[in-house]
Chain A
Amino acid sequence: MNLDVILFALFAIGAVASAVFTITRRNPVAAAMSLIGHFFMLAGLYLTLHAQFVAVVQVLVYAGAIMVLVVFVIMLLNLGNEQQLTERISMRTTIGTLVAALFAMQVVTGLLARPTGVNTQHADAAMIGATAGIGNALFTTYIFPFEAVSILLLAALIGAVILAKRHLHEGI
């Protein structure tokens, strides 16, 4: 046994378990908290891939900003437990779950049958994952998408304000 394997197993099992918790908890706050746990597990997985910048940004953006908003909205609306619909077990739900499970099986068996054959990380992995590597690529090669994303964020900001504003016009 190797420390890498232990860490990967720990984070992978943690990630799957917290993801399952997220979609099965009826209490929205419990679901949100397990999703936050999931983000931390993913950050750990990114660290095993030497992507320290992405790992920290994951915690900063997802756990620290997006999920704070989600938790805030859940608390603001004071949502209780989700009531299960007892009268019908939806056909759509069953078929959807089955299709999703089939898709998972297909991917997993496909990968098991034909492994990619890439078994060690690239020698530059640590350099790429560092802040300098990301920053250099982001502000040279990818400067146009970067600016585009900033416009997207501005649009989202305005959209959110308009949508959540109380009495814009009567009837909207």
Chain B
Amino acid sequence: MLQSIPLDWYLILSAVLFVIGVIGVITRRNAIIIFMSLELMLNAVNLTMVAFSAFLGDVAGQIFVFFVMAVAAAEAAVGLAIVLALFRKKQTVYVDEVNLMKW
């Protein structure tokens, strides 16, 4: 069953999702929501790669998605540990209140 959706639609969709992620990273203050927006961006790229993989008949795209997921899992573990440590030190998760190193 080959499908009637062209590749471009998937690419446009993932561009839109990526931009939503970018806006989330820029506008939010809560570190955890920034982290979630990062995940949105990663997933938008994943969608592109799976789409290319399916349309061009190359498995590499899906393998790459697999690795991106592994990296995202590692990032989640470390990132959330940093947020926890931050909260313990400064009682905040808002990135603009963590400005000790800022000149």
Q: Which residues of A contact B (CB under 8 A)?
A: 2, 4-5, 8, 12, 15-16, 19-20, 22-23, 28, 31-32, 35, 38-39, 42, 45-46, 48-51, 53-54, 57-58, 61-62, 65-66, 69-70, 73-74, 76-77, 79, 82, 85, 92-93, 96-97, 100-101, 103-104, 107-108, 111-112, 115-116, 118-125, 128-129, 133-134, 137-138, 142, 145, 149, 152-153, 155-157, 159-164, 166
Contacts of B67 in A (CB 8 A): 145, 149
B23 contact from A32, A96, A119, A120, Cβ within 8 A: A96
Nearest chain-B residue to A19 (Cβ)?
B20
Nearest chain-B residue to A72 (Cβ)?
B80
A49 contact from B11, B33, B51, B71, Cβ within 8 A: B51
Contact between B74 and A62, CB atoms less than 8 A apart:
no
A121 contact from B3, B75, B81, Cβ within 8 A: B3
Nearest chain-A residue to B29 (Cβ)?
A82
Contact between A125 and B7, CB atoms less than 8 A apart:
no
Contact between B93 and A77, CB atoms less than 8 A apart:
yes
Given contacts A23-B24, A35-B36, A70-B35, contact A54 B57 (CB under 8 A): no
B84 contact from A19, A50, A163, Cβ within 8 A: A163
Contact between A4 and B4, CB atoms less than 8 A apart:
yes
For the complex with contacts A48-B3, A70-B80, 14 further pairs of A-B residues with Cβ separation under 8 Å are A16-B20, A32-B32, A35-B40, A49-B51, A69-B76, A70-B36, A77-B84, A92-B26, A93-B27, A125-B55, A128-B62, A161-B81, A163-B84, A163-B85
Q: How far is the CA of A79 from the CA of B87 in the complex (A)?
A: 10
Contact between A46 and B4, CB atoms less than 8 A apart:
no
Contact between B50 and A51, CB atoms less than 8 A apart:
yes
Nearest chain-B residue to A116 (Cβ)?
B7
Q: Distance (Å) between the CB of A120 and the closest chain B CB?
A: 5
Q: How far is the CA of A120 from the CA of B56 in the complex (A)?
A: 9
Q: How far is the CA of A77 from the CA of B10 in the complex (A)?
A: 37
Contact between A96 and B26, CB atoms less than 8 A apart:
yes
Contact between A122 and B93, CB atoms less than 8 A apart:
no
Given contacts A101-B19, A111-B8, contact A93 B63 (CB under 8 A): no
Contact between B27 and A123, CB atoms less than 8 A apart:
no
